[in-house]
Amino acid sequence: MAHQLPQEVYDTCTGLVYCSFKWLNNVTSGFGMTGILIAFQVILYMATINRFGNTRAFGFSAMAGLFASLWLATMKLIDWSTASIFIIIGVIGLVSLILNEK
């Protein structure tokens, strides 16, 4: 099965960013947005670890990943099964933030 060309996606879809992400998922068999989400979390973690420490950096990046995965799953850019993994990591990050403050 041949992948859709970008102009075919843009003819049947409205919104430049959404259609680009939809095409990316089509070409990469759904891994494109998951890879971007993982990269987003790693970048947030690496950017905040020196200033706030390991626990807070992990909690912050996990919570940001949780909200981003909910947003992407609602837009059907990632599967809910993939989003549930990020939700579990986000809850672990929230618990670690709460326990770190005590």
Q: Amino acid identity, residue 50? A: N
Give the pLDDT of residue 15.
Answer: 75
Q: Amino acid identity, residue 49? A: I
Give the pLDDT of residue 10.
Answer: 61
Cβ-contact 40, 64 below 8 angstroms: yes
For the segment 52-84, what is each residue's pLDDT rounded down to a tens digit? 999 999 999 999 999 999 999 998 889 999 999
Chain Cα centroid distance, residue 73:
9
- Which residues neighbour 13 within 8 Å (Cβ) at sequence distance 6 or greater? 19, 22
Alpha-carbon distance of 52 to 49, in angstroms, equals 6
Q: Is 52 helix (H, G, I), strand (E, B) or coil?
A: helix
